[in-house]
Chains A and B, each alone.
Chain A
């Protein structure tokens, strides 16, 4: 019996080396765990058992032949908006319930080349629009720490799968906080890379100027291994690029940490504030300098996001028309326009319709300047706030979420209260920066996340800073 509790890449590699178990045995253990545990957590939309066992055999062969790479034989889960050839790819939408991916996303190709194993596709808010997984077109996922509560979203299935030991790591996607917020809610680590650091080819687009794929894992070392595997320039995504190597040695005594005063104001649960401040104080005790900074336009970030993201979504989701795939209403001899209307009306859920319409509205004649253009200008100001702050500090720390994981159904009636769950995470993709959520404590047995934000391309600094806390600070 393999104990999967808290299993990390490092430990598995050691076990492979000591011949304690094979990749096939490990994969079978995870598949068994999913069969039992996922009955209550419901993190997976589908389990790709056949694929996983095939990949595990290949991994064992790679190991036997001495061709092992960092992720060879490591079982993982993939958010269901990332294409794995031949498998379903629904983006959490009924619209795509019968859709099967016709090619591999670049990140999938890269993981497969390393010999990683795909256990299944994870649940998410429909088209990544949501902060709780309750907008999934299929079923809500539960938080493994408290099954009455949400796991966060939109990558809630991925975060819950990692937290419940149903995989070693998972891929998620982050547009306004969709990796970091569920990582915080589930007590795991989640990284949103610098815009362009990871190819978006093969991910179902929500808001193209914001979307990034990133890892969710048990610790920062695993996040780094996965990030290093998936990053890099890709000819199929012209915004992608190769990150320069940043191998400067890290010393906490030279670290300047910025703490934005705007992120510790009204709306923040005091119990979260206490936990986050305590973690930041730990860096101070170890020699880091803490500097209070200001991000003066922070209060406008959420409004800016809720103009830009739906505007881009309204364009991206125009492709779903039921013509080339996913005809979900049987053809009633309509003309082409009626056919679009029937399929789109039946296929999209309420939140997706709302955001498509919101985007259509803010891009329409007469409102474009007042909303969309204005939001693009505010985006410049938000970016400048960070540029100014990084003149004085190396890294910025804040809570990931202002609230603890909430009860399922608690916020579904009031969209704005749900949107406010992302108030500390939305600025980061608007400014194109890398951000990470790491666990920093618990309150009422629910996890709390600390958000780390660095200048563009400084992922390695984030990993070092996160690693320092994880190696030296007890969070329970």
Chain B
């Protein structure tokens, strides 16, 4: 079972806010999905290797050479705030940091 407290903590880690109305549904859905995936506990996999991906290739190398992006103007047009095709962002560090 997952508590409201847990949901709030996970939401914070995910940079999401869950409001009061949504909370109950989230708790319910989360609990039912976790109950279902807990099915995996039936299996003893202590001797099994992990598979993170199914890639058919390994150690793919290429020349470390810069390429210019073809259409910087299109990128800049998407920016909420920009100056001369550079993205304007908020201050991340305070003066005291």
Contact A353 B48 (CB under 8 A): no
A157 to B49, CA, bound (A): 38
User: Which residues of chain A from 383 to 405 have a CB within 8 Å of any chain B CB?
Assistant: 383
Which of A318, A337, A380, A416 is close to B48, meaning CB atoms less than 8 Å apart? A380
Contact A348 B45 (CB under 8 A): no
Contact B43 A416 (CB under 8 A): no
Contact A357 B14 (CB under 8 A): yes
A348 to B22, CA, bound (A): 13
A173 to B87, CA, bound (A): 31
Contact A357 B11 (CB under 8 A): yes
Closest to B61 in A: A238
Instruction: Assess A300 versus B43: contact at CB under 8 Å? Given A380-B49, A432-B54.
Output: yes
A383 to B54, CA, bound (A): 9
Contact B57 A354 (CB under 8 A): no
Which residues of B are found within 8 Å of A345, using beta-carbon distances?
Answer: 16-17
Contact B92 A325 (CB under 8 A): no
Which of A323, A358, A377, A432 is close to B89, meaning CB atoms less than 8 Å apart? A323
A431 to B15, CA, bound (A): 32
Which residues of A are found within 8 Å of B51, using beta-carbon distances?
Answer: 376-377, 379-380, 383
- Give A368 Cβ to nearest chain B Cβ, in Å: 12
Number of interface residues of B (CB under 8 A): 52
Which of A208, A360, A380, A414 is close to B10, meaning CB atoms less than 8 Å apart? A360
Contact B78 A416 (CB under 8 A): no
Contact A381 B80 (CB under 8 A): no
Using an 8 Å CB-CB cutoff, how does the interface string of A315-358 with B read, 1 for contact, 0 for none? 00010011111110001001111011100110010100110111
A303 to B60, CA, bound (A): 32
Whether, in the assembled complex, A462 has its beta carbon less than 8 Å from a beta carbon of chain B, the answer is: no
Which residues of B are found within 8 Å of A419, using beta-carbon distances?
Answer: 33, 36
A158 to B42, CA, bound (A): 38
Contact A322 B36 (CB under 8 A): no
Instruction: Assess A196 versus B50: contact at CB under 8 Å? Given A322-B80, A378-B45, A381-B43.
Output: no
User: Which residues of chain B from 21 to 79 have a CB within 8 Å of any chain A CB?
Assistant: 22, 25-26, 29-30, 32-33, 36-43, 45, 48-57, 60, 62, 69-71, 74-75, 77-79
Contact B13 A381 (CB under 8 A): no
User: Which listed segment binds B: A50-58, A97-105, A216-224?
Assistant: A97-105
Contact A325 B79 (CB under 8 A): yes
User: Which residues of chain A from 294 to 317 have a CB within 8 Å of any chain B CB?
Assistant: 297, 299-300, 302-304, 306-307, 314
Which of A208, A299, A360, A430 is close to B14, meaning CB atoms less than 8 Å apart? A360
- Give B44 Cβ to nearest chain A Cβ, in Å: 10
Contact B45 A335 (CB under 8 A): no
Closest to A240 in B: B57
User: Which residues of chain B from 76 to 97 have a CB within 8 Å of any chain A CB?
Assistant: 77-80, 87, 89-92
Which residues of B are found within 8 Å of A373, using beta-carbon distances?
Answer: 50
Closest to B13 in A: A360
Contact A314 B14 (CB under 8 A): yes
A126 to B52, CA, bound (A): 25
Contact B90 A324 (CB under 8 A): no
A167 to B50, CA, bound (A): 42
Which residues of A are found within 8 Å of B48, using beta-carbon distances?
Answer: 377-378, 380-381
Contact A235 B62 (CB under 8 A): yes
B residues engaging A (CB < 8 A)?
6-7, 10-11, 13-18, 22, 25-26, 29-30, 32-33, 36-43, 45, 48-57, 60, 62, 69-71, 74-75, 77-80, 87, 89-92
9 pairs, CB–CB < 8 Å, chain A vs chain B: A235-B62, A299-B39, A327-B80, A344-B16, A353-B26, A374-B41, A380-B49, A381-B45, A432-B56
10 smallest A-B Cβ distances: which pairs? A432-B54, A327-B80, A376-B50, A325-B78, A377-B45, A209-B53, A238-B60, A102-B74, A377-B48, A303-B37
